[in-house]
Structure formats: structure tokens, C-alpha cells
Amino acid sequence: MAGSTKLQFIQLGREASGAKGTEVDATLIWRGVGAIEDDREKVWPEENVGYFSGTTRQYEPKATGLLHMDEIEATFEQLPHIFEASIEREAASVDTGGSGYIYEYNGPTTAQPDVATYTIEAGDDYGEEQFLYGFVEEWTLSGTAGEAVMLEAEWIGREVAAGTKTAGLAPISVEEIIMSKGKLYIDSTANPFGTSVVAAQWLEFELTYTSGMIPIYTGDGEKYFGRISCAGPEVELTVKLQHDAAAVAEKAAWRAGTVRKIRMDFTGTTVATSGAAYDAKHLIIDMSGKWDDWDVLDDEDGVSTVEGTFICKYDPVTTHFFTATVVNTVAAL
């Protein structure tokens, strides 16, 4: 009997801050779809030894593990793991007086980020494979009005090897993030984030965060990478708006090269006890930068629409780059 796709799994365990690359048991079943890929490199050296076919001589200079997390509904409970492994490692803070917990992740500016690394387990009922020192190379959030916000992520880790599945875990409760429960705010540098809402015009978005984290292979006695370094993150947002006064104003800001502040704020269900800052679950993403491009007018059900591309960069005036905040009821990851 072959393995069952219904029994496939992905499990995550966050490694200790001072012991990255040291195996830990999984603490979370990932509520999504994906599989580990063994990306070890095999080389067949060129040689002239008198055989048309060549010989079985082969060597392996390096070994890497990959995990593609297929696109699934983003949730308030699972997103922090993606942000931890791509932006920075953070502990939750209690929303004063309330039952919510706040996770805030700030994109790196002048110092190397300390991202969390993970031991990743995956497989089915016939076997488990795993890799250590896993981090997120890139993730994408996207949304269309009337649907859930979707998440896709790419992980890199050390050498893939057979292992033993951490037993006894149960899926955690999660809440999907709904696009129509979100609001888009676009402001000048003179206003705080979240001042000017662009509500009725917002139709779609796609946000891609490339972490810039790269594996560093060194002469340290191992074929897998020994450490990671940040080459610099890249953040790009595309938004589709109905073409009205708000869109016209943003196209004018694009032509003028004006710095803009964008906030996307998605609200979930209320928490049991309101805190000083929040009374519900939230995903809030703040970005500073400039518009890079605006497409020609398009048509959607007889309504003029337009799509703009925003590049997030550090703004010296407001001293801000990128911040992702998640409010949920999870005390610790």
C-alpha cells in the first residue's frame, strides 16, 4: 500500500535564538499544503577515459533543503511564523488590560536582522524528511474583494535527511483574514499612518516581501550552509483601484515622485477582553515609499479600474521602512 496524500503533513519547530541549526521538536502543524524538496547538488566531472558513456564518477559539493508552501488562506495565528522567519524574531507583548497579544515586525534598515530559524518536518504515513536552520526567502500576500487574503511562502534550509515525526501535535484553531474586512489608507508624510482611508475604491492587492536572507556556504567541514546573512529586503505592492478622484491623486503623486505612506489594516473577530490598543484581531502592514508605475485604464464590469505598483523604501523624513503587526490571542509561538 502506498502513502496517502490525506496523511501528508508539514510541522514547524522554532529553534532557540542562540542555537540556530540545532534540531528541535515540532510545536505546530502547518494548516496548509506543501512539500520538502531535496535540492542537493550532484556534479558529473568531465573526463576523457575511453568510454562513450562516461563513468559513474560523481560528487556532491553542497546540500540544501527547500519547502514551497502552496497558496492558502492567511490566518492571524500562522502569519507570525512567516514573519519571524523572514523579517525578525519577536516575542509577543500583551495588549494592556486585554486578552490580545501583539506581534510587531520591523523591516531591517541599518543592522542585520535576527530572523528566527526553524526545524521543518514533512512527509506522509510512510516516512518523514526534515531540514534544520529553515528561514523564509520570500512570501506573498494577495487579496481580492469578497475573498480571503491568500499566503504563499518559500523556505530554505540545510541538508534534507530522514527523521522521526514529532508525535502528539493537534492542529491549532485559526481564523482566516478576509479581504473585505480590510481597509487601505494612503497618506502623505505629514500624516500618521491610517489617516486617509481609500475604502470603496480598493479591489485587489498583491504584496511580495523578499527577505534578502541568503545561505552562506563556508569551509567549515560541512556541505550545508553554516550561517545566513541579509543582502537587503525588497518589498513590492500592487493595488487595483476603481479609477476615481483617489486614484487620480495617487497618479499625480507618482508623477511628482512624492513619498507616500500606505497602510493595509485587516480586522478579525473581537477578542474576549478589549485592550488599551485593540479590541479585535488585526493584521496591519505599514509601508513607506513611492509609486513606481501606474497601468493604463482597464475595465471591470463596466467600471474603469487602474493598477499601481508601489516600492517600499526607507524614508529618512519619517524614519520608517516597513512594519507588519499581527494581533491575535496566541501568547507565544
Beta bridge partners of 264: 184, 285
Cell of 96: 494592556
Are the C-beta atoms of 65 and 71 separated by less than 8 Å?
A: no
CA atoms of 187 and 196, how far apart (whole Å): 6
Supply the pLDDT for residue 217: 96
Instruction: Please give the mean pLDDT across all residues of the chain.
Output: 96
Q: Which stretches within 61-124 are classed as H helix?
A: 79-84
Would you say residue 3 has pLDDT above 90?
A: no
At 270 the pLDDT is 98
Is the Cβ–Cβ distance between 59 and 43 less than 8 Å?
A: yes
Residue 198: band (very low, low, confident or very high) from pLDDT cuts 50, 70, 90:
confident
57: cell is 564518477
Q: What's the chain's Rg over C-alpha atoms?
A: 22
Is residue 1 pLDDT above 80, yes or no? no
Q: State the DSSP string of 74-124.
A: -BTTTHHHHHHTTT-----EE-TTSS-EEEEEE--SSS------EEEEEEE
Q: pLDDT tens, 72-101?
A: 999 999 999 999 999 999 999 999 999 999
Summarised one tens digit per residue, pLDDT across range 272-309 is: 999 999 999 999 999 999 999 999 999 988 999 999 99
Q: Which residues contact 302 (CB under 8 A, 6 or more apart)?
A: none
Residue 23 Cα to chain centre, angstroms: 22
pLDDT tens, residue by residue, 144-165: 999 999 999 999 999 999 999 9
